[in-house]
Structure 1
Amino acid sequence: MAAEPGPVILTKSSPTVSLDKHGVTSGLIRVNLNWTSPRAAALEQARQARGLLGKVRASLQTAAVRDADLDLGCMIGFADGDTAVVQALGNAFGALDRPPYVHLDGDDRTGGAAAGENLTISLNQQEKFAKLLLFVYIYEGSGDFRGLEAKVTLTSDKGDRFEVHLDDSPPQANACAIALITREKGELVIEREVRWFTPQRGAGIQQVISKTYEFPIEWTPGRK
């Protein structure tokens, strides 16, 4: 039996991939975000601690660790000029059978769920899209992405996998533009961005990202 092909990893030196060249022209693209739970990692270190003093120290350190709540989202620019956003904040979970043709299936609040967070894009409606931006931000918990080992995997219906690793976070970065999906020379292309953002006074992080990538979205305060 032939081994299953590994994922295509988008890197700084090789940041783009054509979905058309992989035969991915219809169906669904599933986007998975997974990260390491800081508390789970601390509990494992405490379990492995040796000696009474080491266990006490590890237990105190674990008690001080806060889990990170990362939120995966997608900004959508349509060919007719309209825009939309899919994210847990504001319960904007989207839909696949009607606009925006993008759906977020849930909200992993800790990084402890094996399935992580999953977002699905319908390529059956791709002619309606001008561009899609996958992004992630820290809703609460960890101060930045360092040590979270966050990874995003895009998987087609027929099993093609494309990975983006969020492994070079600068200090205080609480959001990241992950990848941009656009049409170039008739082909649907995924381009690795991994562009980091830090908090700015007077503006929500989604607003900063949307302005940077020219998504004219009207933002209002939201909660989840």
Structure 2
Amino acid sequence: MATVWEYLRGERNNPMDSGVHGKVTLTKSQPQYPITGSGPTTGNLYVNLHWTARASQRSTSQLRRKLLQPRLLKPLEVQSYQSEQLNVDLDLACMYELADGTTGVVQPLGQFFGDLQRPPYIKLSGDDQYGAPSGETMYINLEKKDQFKRLLIFVYIYDGTPAFDQTHAQIQIVPPTGPRLEINLEERAPAARSCAVVLIENRGGELMARREVRYVHGFQSDLDRLYGFGMQWQRGYKEE
């Protein structure tokens, strides 16, 4: 039986997709796409972050020098340089504002994993370190869509790890029906510590996704100021 990860990684088509409905990539020229209609909605919205680490600059330069040298005694061990990668710890998170004005965050830092059946009706599956194939997944209860005013899906890099230019990262948004949405974090932003990826807004009962991909050099408090959620922040530490 196929798993949800096979659908997220594109290895299988989502059986709930029909016809040409496969995926939609949100870009600068086409940044928006509706997630739900105005009618009743059931099920959960899956938001998945997965990434791979780019090969380190040191190993790339070493490989280049090796390739320029003549083969004297034995073949080059190219694979050993290609497989040398840096560990990168990306975290998937969401700032939310509910219809009643309540604001908050769902994120691994501080273990704010949320709840699907009670406010904020958002739940993070856990904290995946160093880019396992399944990545990190967040669930959003679409049956409570009228309770949402706006959701900011963002990614941050935990303190002490390499920056965004060391990774190939992608967020996929998979609704119960229709195409999955993909947002690639392709820009080189070596000094950035956080990235606002996509904003989901309730527009007259319909949830609309809008690509943001805005990198900031700071952390959650800086994203908060940028989008005006108005929360108070303090320094947090991640349990290993």
The TM-score with structure 1 as length reference comes to 0.82
Contact 2:156–2:195, Cα closer than 8 Å, also in 1: yes
Which has the higher Rg, Structure 1 or Structure 2?
A: 2
- Per-residue CA deviations over 1:51-72 (Å, capped at 9, x if unaligned) read 669549955x93xx53100000
**Matched AA of 1:74:** C
Distance across 2 between alignment mates of 1:73 and 1:179: 11
Return the match for 1:11 from 23, 27, 46. Answer: 27
**Matched AA of 2:98:** F
Counterpart in 1 of 2:126? Answer: 106
Instruction: Kindly state the Cα deviation for residue 22 of structure 1 after the two structures are TM-superposed.
Output: 9.9
Return the match for 1:191 from 210, 213, 218. Answer: 210
Structure 2, unaligned runs of 5 or more: 1-17
Return the match for 1:28 from 36, 44, 64. Answer: 44
- Per-residue CA deviations over 1:151-182 (Å, capped at 9, x if unaligned) read 00000123530111111133312211001011
**Matched AA of 1:6:** G
SS in 2 for 1:17: strand
SS in 2 for 1:124: helix
Q: 1:210 to 1:131 in 2, by over 3 A?
A: same
1:112-131 aligned at under 5 Å gives the runs: 113-131=132-150
Contact 1:173–1:198, Cα closer than 8 Å, also in 2: yes
Contact 2:45–2:142, Cα closer than 8 Å, also in 1: yes
1:94 and 2:114 correspond: yes
Distance across 2 between alignment mates of 1:219 and 1:56: 47
**Matched AA of 2:194:** A
Structure 1, unaligned runs of 5 or more: 200-204
Contact 2:35–2:175, Cα closer than 8 Å, also in 1: no
Distance across 1 between alignment mates of 2:212 and 2:97: 17
Counterpart in 2 of 1:210? Answer: 224
Instruction: Kindly state the Cα deviation for residue 5 of structure 1 after the two structures are TM-superposed.
Output: 3.1
- Per-residue CA deviations over 1:103-134 (Å, capped at 9, x if unaligned) read 000111101x1110000111111111111000
**Matched AA of 1:129:** F
1:17-166 aligned at under 5 Å gives the runs: 17-21=33-37, 25-38=41-54, 54-55=76-77, 62=84, 65-111=85-131, 113-140=132-159, 142-158=161-177, 160-166=179-185
**Matched AA of 2:117:** D
Instruction: Kindly state the Cα deviation for residue 187 of structure 1 after the two structures are TM-superposed.
Output: 2.3
The TM-score with structure 2 as length reference comes to 0.77
**Matched AA of 1:215:** F
Number of equivalences: 214
Q: 1:56 to 1:138 in 2, by over 3 A?
A: same
1:176 and 2:190 correspond: no
Distance across 2 between alignment mates of 1:108 and 1:145: 17
Distance across 2 between alignment mates of 1:136 and 1:38: 17
- Per-residue CA deviations over 1:61-94 (Å, capped at 9, x if unaligned) read 93xx531000000001011111110000001111
Instruction: Kindly state the Cα deviation for residue 145 of structure 1 after the two structures are TM-superposed.
Output: 1.2
Contact 2:168–2:185, Cα closer than 8 Å, also in 1: yes
